[in-house]
Amino acid sequence: MKVLVLGGDGFCGWPTALHLSAQNDQVLIADNMSRRRIDRELQVESLTPIEQLPVRLDAWQTLTGQTIRFVELDVAMEYERLLALIHEAQPDAVVHFAEQRAAPYSMKSAAHKRYTVDNNLRATHNVLCAIVESSLDIHLVHLGTMGVYGYQTAGLRIPEGYLPVSIEIAPGQSVQREILFPSDPGSVYHMTKTQDQLFFYFYNKNDKVRVTDLHQGVVWGTQTKETQLDERLINRFDYDGDYGTVLNRFLMQAAVGYPLTVHGSGGQTRAFIHIRDTVRCIELAIHNPPRRGERVRIFNQATETHRVRDLAQLVARLTGATVQHVPNMRIEAEENELLIHNQGLRDLGLQPIRLSDGLLEEVHAISKRYAHRCDRSKIPCLSQWRAEHAATPTSRSATCT
């Protein structure tokens, strides 16, 4: 199968590209390297030493004999080049990771909000437009987020995208519908993902574009079978206050002797998935496309849910780290329950990797190995959700604007 991976240099995209290539799919990466530029803007680096993309790709070819092609391209800004690439490569599937994905980064200032909206919405719309203009029957696989549903306690098990509703149109008379679950974004970043859903709905209805939208939870872990083959293939590990996600941050904090930073009460419940399951889910989605004319297929790409303070306790018990409750800069529910449906990907063959001491130890070991690369001043989460705390002059410009 020919697969175009947009955003294939990133945390999820890189291991996915390798995994698909290892399954003998013909992989082409397009990326504008914005994530590496944002590292420079934030003056932070991945905890793991990541090679430049051409070095990564050479190493992969040397080790496996498989070739992955790379084109540097901005999906949001270079529509004609994207279209030409699709015409030339004729992919069976496009996997779309190419968005600004950090909620705290998206809330840093007006410039960061605008960059995130401009980048993410233009990127998604350009991909859809290019697929239609190419006249090719390409399956689009998009990485969405569990955050589209919001994190208020819903009192029900969150469905995979669609909610059955009954609307009373006259006394004793009702119509049944399935609608997209009402969106409830908690950040500008999450808002872009809720808007992506409408783009998919429209282009699927109007042009019969085949779309699978994977509503992914917080990804944890670092290495996959392929990235651990050689240090030149190592995956990125974000630990800073903007891009670091909670469980990897706790494991890194334990490794460098920094108290585990629980926001507020830590009563926030979130959905999680290991990076090895991420790449497997994408493989499953690509190889099980929807039929032409089928509505947008939505899967909840998350294998388990946990409360933040429970994760902190677990990591503390394993490592002897201390836990610190710090003020929460976000506007989010202090406590929430989260029940989810996630059978769709299992039905396709996913055997979920559960959070286990062994896996936690593996990530902890990576953090310990590269602890010397940690800049402790970059650990605190400083991005403010509250408008009254206006951005400081230094955080007023986003790299890419």
Quote the distance between the C-alpha of residue 99 and its chain's center: 9
Backbone angles phi, psi at 367, to 5 degrees: -60, -40
How big is the chain, counted in residues? 401
Residues 181-220 that bind ligand NAD (CB under 6 A): 216, 218-219
Compute φ and ψ for 377, nearest 5 degrees. -70, -15
Least distance in Å: CB of 257 to ligand NAD? 25
State the binding string over 145-184 for ligand NAD (x if CB under 6 A, else -): x---------------------------------------
- Residue 119: name the closest of 72, 77, 148 by CA: 77
Catalytic residue list contains 113: no
Which listed residue (16, 145, 192, 319) is catalytic?
A: 145
Strand residue runs (E) in 36-123: 69-72, 93-96
Selection from 41, 30, 130 nearest residue 80 by Cα: 130
Minimal distance in Å, beta carbon 288 to ligand USQ?
23
- Contact flags string 72-111 toward ligand NAD, x per CB under 6 A: --xxx--------------------xxx-x----------
Out of 193, 224, 303, 319, the active site residue is 193
Q: Cβ 14 to ligand NAD, closest distance in Å? A: 8
Q: Closest Cα partner for 290 from 143, 139, 145?
A: 139
DSSP letter string over 45-73?
--SS-PPPHHHHHHHHHHHHS---EEEE-
- When asked if residue 330 is in the footprint of ligand USQ (CB under 6 A), the reply is yes
d(CA 289, CA 84): 24
Query: Which single residue is written with the structure tokens 């932070």?
Result: 44
193 as an active site residue: the answer is yes
- Residue 219: C-alpha distances to residues 54, 294, 303, 335 (Å): 25, 29, 10, 21
271 binds, among ligand NAD, ligand USQ, none (CB under 5 to 8 A by kind): ligand USQ
- Under rule CB under 6 A, which residues in 85-144 are in contact with ligand USQ? 101-103
Q: In angstroms, rounded to a whole number, what is the distance separating the alpha carbons of residues 246 and 269?
A: 11
Q: Are strands 26-31 and 69-72 parallel, antiparallel or unpaired?
A: parallel
- Hey, which residues between 173 and 232 contact ligand USQ (CB under 6 A)? 217-218
303 is an active site residue: no
Cα–Cα distance, 274 to 251 (Å, whole number): 14
Terminal Cα-to-Cα distance of the chain (whole angstroms):
36
- The answer to whether residue 264 forms part of the interface with ligand NAD (CB under 6 A) is no
What is the 8-class DSSP label of residue 94? E
Q: Pick between residue 49 and residue 257 the one whose CB is nearest to ligand NAD.
A: 49
CB nearer ligand USQ, residue 113 or residue 249 = 249
The answer to whether 11 contacts ligand NAD (rule: CB under 6 A) is yes
Q: Do the Cβ atoms of 128 and 39 come closer than 8 Å?
A: no
Closest distance to ligand USQ from the beta carbon of 8 (Å): 16
| Complex with ligand NAD: residue 11 or 199, whichever CB lies closer | 11
Binding site for ligand NAD (CB under 6 A): 7, 9-13, 31-35, 74-76, 97-99, 101, 119, 123, 143, 145, 216, 218-219, 245
Q: Which residues contribute to the site for ligand USQ (CB under 6 A)?
A: 101-103, 145-147, 217-218, 245-246, 249, 261-263, 266, 268, 270-271, 308, 328, 330, 332, 381
Question: Which residues are the active-site residues?
Answer: 145, 189, 193
